[in-house]
Structure 1
């Protein structure tokens, strides 16, 4: 049943409703006031920088700096927009009593003991459900553990053996075809659910338009101070609440409940769009083939007429496809017109042959020619047409590759028509390059979550962020693993940005587009950080000032913006610790840059992506990952040297005292942000009797 088939009487809950809480409303209006002040002051500063304070004589550093500042201003604007409709939800109604649920525990190579703990906890979930272990490693010991626990076990079938596997998305897509629950609770192997997780989330689905309920991901093995920045209280709090206000809270891969109907609709729509794209490519290349062949056809000939008719038919088909006409009707009509055009050429040739034979029959009889070179039938072997099928049988080919190749060659009129006919019949309706024709979860990146929810929103479904701790996870316990995890998140996000940019995705509202874009935009910060690190160094070492302004004027524009911006974060966080997240946002600039570059290479140039599954257990000590930290170390050393050189310049030259002080403070701030890695390097893992931290983590 479609969400649009549900009548008003059944819609007992509306996820768009907002609780009437005077205190919450007052806090929201205060937050909006600060957002307005922050945005106004930000643009006041950056406009002044562009128009009045760029040192054009040193444009090579002045322009990158003001561009980086403009990036930060846009970032502040997007954050303010996110916070504008931040919502705190009241408890949902009771779930529908007949709601059926499948609990999916996705695993690849995690220890059997760890997965078993999660599966045992999933069995204890109070709401009636079926628990399934989705073992992408196809391990006999995992199957045996599932049987012992009394839970279901699903692994890939043989149809996946020579096809793309699509990591976790493919694992879940495979399981979707083997289960029947109306709703799905998706858990990572290390996310231990609490018994009430379904009781507290299924009620949102009383609204027939809700497709996703996401809950926070909080980790139980994080030491005091959160040295690796694993927790993300700002994201799994104000940011997701802000996105929720715009109906843009998105799927984060685990601790989420999804509606099967919405996922299957995604799969079907995706299948149709893939086939439409294949047909569009075929029509485009076929048209190019025909146009090239037209240049070779004699004017007024039957071939020229047939090619003109075929070109017209292809144009009409492309227009019909663009107008959204049914795909089957478009292709069927086109095939009939192309076949008719080709038949016309053949008919004309047969009539010509018939006329020639009649003329030959009217000639006077001559001496009967003596056969040479064997039986007359032997001459057929030398026919320029050649055999229809080779001795080894028909040869398999990729229609897209063959057609694209033919589109750049000049073919005879008859060969051109035949190529078009073959191409139209070879469109891969069954998607033989995939194990499944229908893929509900998005497979366009190494992280399946964001793209899936983005497509849901594009189809008109709603999402909910439920801010309650309902599952306890395990965070990385060493810096190397944490860096691997951050890289994978960033790579997946940037793949989605490059393949399905939300600003141009169909179906979403303008606010939803900006909510997704703001998350993707944040991973570009690595490039701005390089400029923020380089600018004070260049001044302290070489005396080159990128800002052409005297100090009081600069401070008059900059300080109000900086202070109000910090106030915005404090009010938005509502007391949550966010400093650790801010430190890691700057300190991991090489990770963000590497993610952007590698994702670009993968999407644009099809280069393999350096991808690794995040280990879910504590790794054996391997020493400090100096290689992964080399750029931060280089930056820190250069910053310290720059301070020393700057102080020497002031003492010796007795010049630029104020500028030196400002830039030394700037360097000190950068070093303070980078210093978070000192504690991360020294961290040796969680000790169970430590107090669990609640803060830190980067915003997604």
Structure 2
């Protein structure tokens, strides 16, 4: 790659884009049609930010050479993850992993816990781990998947992660382990590449622009991304991540617990039971303890000491309350003792009173626990989660899918990632559009969740280049909203004659055309002959997937619900044409086609001007070409088994 040429084109693209967009905002907005003019200029602003982030990504690509020799004595576990893939496919990948030349041990991580797969693994000398319950008998958090379990059951210094449809080459470890000679390297990622994909790639399975120039560009900023498979991870870095994540999660739990306690106290004060002096005294004690804890938390007090002291103060408050309840019993016992009456069975005497107070002070036995407002306060002040296993492991503390969150957090710890640009794993090509859409939807939703929960721009432990590189990946998932506007604008003009700009004059073309031409030239130079058209088609054509992922992620994050784990399908989803999966796009295609006819008729009768009609006809035709890929994809019968097998074997 000619780095100087790329940088020149990046600068020209950004300057021309800013020049065009400034003119659009300041001089060309058709405010009489603000309902389409403003959305369009916002979409164009989004696109310029996307272009600028792409330019920054490719500004200083890292083109790595050989990794060198593996670290002396390095031990490796190869982990093949599966959920519902066919057994023969899983076994094929596992046996290929077993045949890797570098000494290692191969494990199958079965998220589906299938006994028949366990038997197959045992018959071939493969390790087998099924996700289930932890050692306490509690269910593991969904985000942990099988990797956290594998960390406790394996011992290798490094972990090679493979999905069940990703078949490794025998030399993969020999070619990649050398990068770990740098102790700060925690991750080495290799490309995702699929065998058996036709040259026209109807499902958009391959993404050579991302698994090439984009990843190399991110690597130049020390921000190469983990893709969930085809990667080697350093165990020690994962355990460090687990400890850090556990502490962060505990701090969030403590803050949430104190917030819940304040709200519960407010509700309890308004309840009729609060008129009881005993209840009111208990609430005063708990409120004073939690306010002290909140002050100490802001001052940076150690969490362990803070929570321990809070629990002791709350328990002491419960004991004082129970002691007050027992005061009358003490008086009665004193009277009985003075009368020197023979004791009855079961009578509590003074020397037994202290033990009785201890027992009744327990939160589950205290009479106050039966008073609803107090019970809620006692529950709120508890920062633990007794119904869930909480191992100090990395992925259990990550609230979304592992790949993006894990990368961001590793970089936040000062660890480094490496992108090794060599095809060392050959995947099984997706067989239908349903599988492709499910995978893309899952990954987009997870990425947006990271943006909303852990915006990399706000992570002080990341370098500014790393922040922008992680943000660029997340920003691309918002493109579905801009795509809707790009489809709507030509329809609006051709059918209604409404322009979102004041006029399509020479000033417009002088600003817009150079920007588009230079940007396209930049992509061509960066791609170095790599086909990019299919990737760019799908980026626009899958607008319902991106919008759905954004809205679902937002609802999950803002509602405070745990995101759970969406398992990516491993088998074909549709037996025939999948028109139902692209219904919104088919509707848009119909509207565009109808708009072309209406626009021609309006031009014929003089209702539309020639220049505006020509521009919007070309725009609508381009949109139709973009969306047409989904017609082919919905009818795609699947890859040729013979070609896929040959590609997998011979690469």
TM-score of the alignment, normalized to the shorter chain, above 0.5? yes
Query: 1:128 and 1:338 mapped to 2: Cα distance?
Result: 55
List aligned pairs for 1:321-400, cutoff 5 A.
Answer: 321-336=297-312, 394=364
List aligned pairs for 1:491-510, cutoff 5 A.
Answer: 491-510=445-464
Query: 1:65 and 1:649 mapped to 2: Cα distance?
Result: 23
Determine which of 116, 129, 132 is the counterpart of 2:107.
Answer: 132
Query: 1:594 and 1:349 mapped to 2: Cα distance?
Result: 57
Which residue is 1:541 aligned to? 495
> Is the contact between residue 539 and residue 545 of structure 1 (CA under 8 Å) also seen in structure 2?
yes
Shift of 1:494: 1.9
Which residue is 2:352 aligned to? none
- Relative to structure 1, the CA distance from residue 107 to residue 165 in structure 2 (aligned partners, 3 Å threshold; closer, same or farther) is farther
Determine which of 454, 461, 476 is the counterpart of 2:415.
Answer: 461
Structure with the bigger percentage of helix: 2
Query: 2:131 and 2:589 mapped to 1: Cα distance?
Result: 48
Q: Do structure 1's residue 427 and structure 2's residue 383 form an aligned pair?
A: yes
- Relative to structure 1, the CA distance from residue 611 to residue 677 in structure 2 (aligned partners, 3 Å threshold; closer, same or farther) is farther
Query: 2:383 and 2:572 mapped to 1: Cα distance?
Result: 49
**1:633-672 deviation line (CA, Å, top 9, x unaligned):** 1111111111111111111116411010000011111111
List aligned pairs for 1:55-66, cutoff 5 A.
Answer: 55-66=30-41
Query: 1:148 and 1:687 mapped to 2: Cα distance?
Result: 31
**Higher mean Cα deviation, 193-202 or 680-689?**
680-689
Which residue is 1:665 aligned to? 618
Query: 1:484 and 1:590 mapped to 2: Cα distance?
Result: 12
**Higher mean Cα deviation, 337-346 or 634-643?**
337-346
Which residue is 1:364 aligned to? none
Which residue is 2:51 aligned to? 76
Query: 2:74 and 2:217 mapped to 1: Cα distance?
Result: 29
List aligned pairs for 1:100-179, cutoff 5 A.
Answer: 100-159=75-134, 163=139, 166=142, 169-179=144-154
- Relative to structure 1, the CA distance from residue 354 to residue 536 in structure 2 (aligned partners, 3 Å threshold; closer, same or farther) is same
Secondary structure at 2:153 match in 1: coil
Shift of 1:206: 1.0
> Is the contact between residue 83 and residue 570 of structure 2 (CA under 8 Å) also seen in structure 1?
no
Q: Do structure 1's residue 531 and structure 2's residue 506 form an aligned pair?
A: no
- Relative to structure 1, the CA distance from residue 29 to residue 320 in structure 2 (aligned partners, 3 Å threshold; closer, same or farther) is farther
Shift of 1:236: 0.5
Q: Do structure 1's residue 31 and structure 2's residue 27 form an aligned pair?
A: no
Query: 1:681 and 1:336 mapped to 2: Cα distance?
Result: 63
- Relative to structure 1, the CA distance from residue 350 to residue 588 in structure 2 (aligned partners, 3 Å threshold; closer, same or farther) is closer
- Relative to structure 1, the CA distance from residue 256 to residue 571 in structure 2 (aligned partners, 3 Å threshold; closer, same or farther) is same
> Is the contact between residue 434 and residue 572 of structure 2 (CA under 8 Å) also seen in structure 1?
no
Determine which of 567, 570, 585 is the counterpart of 1:632.
Answer: 585
Query: 2:506 and 2:416 mapped to 1: Cα distance?
Result: 50
Shift of 1:212: 0.5
List aligned pairs for 1:225-240, cutoff 5 A.
Answer: 225-240=200-215
Shift of 1:263: 0.9
- Relative to structure 1, the CA distance from residue 681 to residue 277 in structure 2 (aligned partners, 3 Å threshold; closer, same or farther) is closer
Query: 1:307 and 1:445 mapped to 2: Cα distance?
Result: 34
Which residue is 1:213 aligned to? 188
> Is the contact between residue 217 and residue 471 of structure 1 (CA under 8 Å) also seen in structure 2?
yes
Which residue is 1:93 aligned to? 68
- Relative to structure 1, the CA distance from residue 608 to residue 538 in structure 2 (aligned partners, 3 Å threshold; closer, same or farther) is farther
> Is the contact between residue 475 and residue 616 of structure 1 (CA under 8 Å) also seen in structure 2?
no
Query: 2:346 and 2:188 mapped to 1: Cα distance?
Result: 78
Secondary structure at 2:395 match in 1: coil
Query: 1:679 and 1:490 mapped to 2: Cα distance?
Result: 23
Secondary structure at 2:89 match in 1: helix
**Higher mean Cα deviation, 587-596 or 610-619?**
610-619
Query: 1:538 and 1:503 mapped to 2: Cα distance?
Result: 37
Secondary structure at 1:198 match in 2: helix
Shift of 1:302: 12
> Is the contact between residue 260 and residue 380 of structure 2 (CA under 8 Å) also seen in structure 1?
no
> Is the contact between residue 213 and residue 526 of structure 2 (CA under 8 Å) also seen in structure 1?
yes
Secondary structure at 2:161 match in 1: strand
**Size of the alignment, in residue pairs?**
626
Shift of 1:33: 1.4
Query: What are the ranges of 5 or more consecutive residues in structure 2 without an aligned counterpart?
Result: 340-344, 349-356
TM-score, with length taken from structure 1: 0.80
Q: Do structure 1's residue 651 and structure 2's residue 627 form an aligned pair?
A: no
> Cα RMSD between the aligned structures?
3.9
> Is the contact between residue 184 and residue 260 of structure 1 (CA under 8 Å) also seen in structure 2?
yes
Query: 2:544 and 2:293 mapped to 1: Cα distance?
Result: 49
